[in-house]
Structure 1
Amino acid sequence: MKKKSAIHLCLAGGLVLLIAQLSLLMLLLYPYKHHRNNLIKDITVIVNITSKLHFSLIVVDSEVLQHYSNQKLSSKNSCLLCEPRNPATFVIFYKGIRQSDELVSVLKEAKFQVVVLQNTNPPEVPSGISINVPICYLLKRNTVIHIVLFHEREGNYWWHGNILSDPTAISELSTFGLSVHGVQMMKSEGAYDKFETEHVEIDAISFLIPKDIPHFLREATNSRFVECNHMLADSFHRVHGKDTTHEAMRFVHRAWKLLSKAKAILDKLGVRFWISSGTCLGYFRQCDIIPHSKDVDIGIFITDYTEQILPEFLAHGFTLKHWFGKINDSLELSFTSGDLKLDIFFFYEDGRFVWNGGTQAKTGKKFKYIFPRFTLCWTEFLELKVRVPCETQAYVEANYGSDWFTPLTRWDWKSSPPNVRENGEWASDEWAQVMRVYN
């Protein structure tokens, strides 16, 4: 009898323990399910509001897009809007202050807490974007949602602001339980090529998403944008004047066309490039092409070199002026278009530094131009979306010294740059290969 009682007691205890474990599991799962349901409800309301006001709401949340792509491949059906760990992130295109105010008003009527962050104190004065324009909305009814505003720029691309351009951003984020690190986008200014979208259904809600998700996600990781310093440019022109002669203006226009043409070719090939040397100096110092420079300079990492570069430039009307170096050492290509020259310098990594080479055709002497390592950012240069070293001043100072603000009338490429070093000579039996000069 005692034995049976003990067995019954153990069974009862086990049942109580099992019920407790199941209850704990439900408690753990319920908040997640509750959050998921509230998120979907909130997003449904936002989609309906933006649709009625003719705003295109685009899903750009990296986790949602990645899971959507994976689900298409696996044919599994799961809740995609349950995935974001950060506030779910969307984009709308900015249409003007009146339309923005109307959207905010309707969202508030729908019981959303709305915080509008503005481009109040940008690092540099934007070109074509007014100060104090809205750059994003933080929304909360049951859950937090982040809507980024894409502004159209003169270079025919989309730009978004840096969340910290609004001095109230940190305190406003904290009211939502967030920090700057807790948002997916807007840790810096960003730039995106205009992209196609398509309608899809995610968790029974109709959305727009980027048509080429892998391309968009790659672009998102390399979207950092820096503005040309227009205040510095104004200062330069006040001190040194601005050459507005017919010859100068004509050269600048033709050099712009040359750069635009080179950009189209390299963009088509998917080759990253940045404005370098004198072209970068003109951008940084005066937001313009230096009228007396007489050429256009760009840089390419040798890891991005492709054999298609030469035939593509030739096919688009460029003439090869010279080929110096080898692919694995000091490669430099120079093209002409009419009487203008385009120099392409290839950069090599070497520990804490990067360098590009130079060759003196008469003697076979080699030179090396050394730069501190840098990353690449987008910028707008004369209405062109192009890359520059993010650490632009350090890059310019390496090449032109601390007195870069003062124009020079004399410049020797072999001795004037402070970062130039002699780098030996090409062997005489290699000259035909490494020094190809064309008339």
Structure 2
Amino acid sequence: MPSDWKAFKRDWKNGKYLECTPLLERPKNTSRKIPIKFLDRLVEFSNLLDKHNATAFLMGGTLLGWARECSLIPHTKDTDFGMFSEEHSESLLREILSSKIFEIYWVLGRLKNSFELSVIVDEIKIDLFYVYKTTNSTENASISGMRYWSKQRVQWNYPKLSGEFCAVEMHGRLLHVLCDYYKIVESKSLYTNQKWIGLLENRIR
């Protein structure tokens, strides 16, 4: 029997593995803004959340990098995680704010509808966006953010998401995505190029 049964059940539930098949191959000597070894920091930050029963999943350009090339996008300068807002806890926030490893870059928005925070480690930023489930008939998740220069709240809506987590591998490191991550990628036409959306759809089918 596992010593921590609750943790074991949670890991088992979130352990369905999704294999990544790269749609884009890059030379091994590709110059990168963020070194591959920084993935260890992403795992460390993810583990911090996990300790408080919260699951960090890849979002934004970091999700696209995994989906498109099973790696970090070479020109990206920061990394992105999402977390469902209902997994928030004061103990988690206290640990992040008091961390001696992850230095707070900023905290924006309100916990009830628009929270996000960013930390700096090894001079690279990790953004954590809270994802809010909504009751809208066509969308059930949103990310709210803020244009800090104008203090204007903005919101991005996503199609209905399962809320289920899957395990993925990036250069030997274990991380998580939403099992229906492709809905996020497809909903973001701003994700560089429609060609990648079509390739993703073909791979999923």
TM superposition score normalised by structure 2: 0.81
Displacement after TM superposition at 1:381 (Å): 2.2
Instruction: Give the alignment of 1:328-343 within 5 angstroms.
Output: 328-343=112-127
Distance (Å, rounded) in 2 between the aligned partners of 1:255 and 1:300: 20
Q: Does residue 1:227 correspond to 2:19, yes or no?
A: yes
Instruction: Give the alignment of 1:345-360 within 5 angstroms.
Output: 345-351=129-135, 352-360=139-147
Q: What amino acid is aligned across from residue 256 of structure 1 in structure 2?
A: L
Q: What secondary structure is seen at the aligned counterpart in 2 of 1:326?
A: coil
Aligned twin of 1:252: 35
Aligned twin of 1:130: none
Aligned twin of 1:386: 175
Distance (Å, rounded) in 1 between the aligned partners of 2:45 and 2:6: 25
Q: What secondary structure is seen at the aligned counterpart in 1 of 2:157?
A: strand
Kindly indicate whether the alpha-carbon contact (under 8 Å) linking 2:107 and 2:116 is maintained by their aligned counterparts in 1: yes
Q: Does residue 1:405 correspond to 2:196, yes or no?
A: yes
Per-residue CA deviations over 1:240-283 (Å, capped at 9, x if unaligned) read x44724x41x7232431321221232222222110111000000
Distance (Å, rounded) in 2 between the aligned partners of 1:213 and 1:404: 44
Aligned twin of 1:363: 150
Displacement after TM superposition at 1:376 (Å): 1.8
Kindly indicate whether the alpha-carbon contact (under 8 Å) linking 1:252 and 1:290 is maintained by their aligned counterparts in 2: no
Could you say which structure has the greater relative contact order, defined with CA pairs below 8 angstroms and 6 or more residues apart? 2
Q: What amino acid is aligned across from residue 257 of structure 1 in structure 2?
A: D
Per-residue CA deviations over 1:170-200 (Å, capped at 9, x if unaligned) read xxxxxxxxxxxxxxxxxxxxxxxxxxxxxxx
Aligned twin of 1:373: 160
Aligned twin of 2:24: 236
Instruction: Give the alignment of 1:49-198 within 5 angstroms.
Output: none
Displacement after TM superposition at 1:291 (Å): 1.5
Q: What secondary structure is seen at the aligned counterpart in 2 of 1:377?
A: strand
- Counterparts in 2 of 1:306 and 1:403: CA distance versus 1, 3 Å: same
Uncovered stretches (5+) of structure 1, i.e. residues with no partner: 1-208, 407-439
Distance (Å, rounded) in 1 between the aligned partners of 2:28 and 2:196: 16
- Counterparts in 2 of 1:258 and 1:355: CA distance versus 1, 3 Å: same
Q: What amino acid is aligned across from residue 347 of structure 1 in structure 2?
A: V
Aligned twin of 2:202: none
Distance (Å, rounded) in 1 between the aligned partners of 2:168 and 2:134: 26
Displacement after TM superposition at 1:225 (Å): 2.1
Q: What amino acid is aligned across from residue 236 of structure 1 in structure 2?
A: L
Kindly indicate whether the alpha-carbon contact (under 8 Å) linking 2:18 and 2:167 is maintained by their aligned counterparts in 1: yes
Once superposed, which parts of structure 1, at least 4 consecutive aligned residues long, lie more than 6 Å away?
Answer: none
Aligned twin of 1:288: 71
Higher helix share: 1
Aligned-pair identity in percent equals 25
Displacement after TM superposition at 1:214 (Å): 4.4
Q: Does residue 1:327 correspond to 2:111, yes or no?
A: yes
Aligned twin of 1:216: 8
- Total equivalences in the alignment: 189
Aligned twin of 1:270: 53
- Counterparts in 2 of 1:400 and 1:308: CA distance versus 1, 3 Å: farther
- Please tell me whether Structure 1 or Structure 2 has the larger radius of gyration of its CA atoms: 1
Q: What secondary structure is seen at the aligned counterpart in 2 of 1:289?
A: coil
Displacement after TM superposition at 1:404 (Å): 5.9
Aligned twin of 1:192: none
Q: What amino acid is aligned across from residue 259 of structure 1 in structure 2?
A: L
Distance (Å, rounded) in 1 between the aligned partners of 2:67 and 2:89: 29
TM superposition score normalised by structure 1: 0.40
Distance (Å, rounded) in 1 between the aligned partners of 2:145 and 2:169: 28
Displacement after TM superposition at 1:315 (Å): 1.9
Per-residue CA deviations over 1:57-110 (Å, capped at 9, x if unaligned) read xxxxxxxxxxxxxxxxxxxxxxxxxxxxxxxxxxxxxxxxxxxxxxxxxxxxxx
RMSD of the TM alignment (CA)?
A: 2.3
Displacement after TM superposition at 1:382 (Å): 2.2
Aligned twin of 1:95: none
Q: What secondary structure is seen at the aligned counterpart in 2 of 1:345?
A: strand
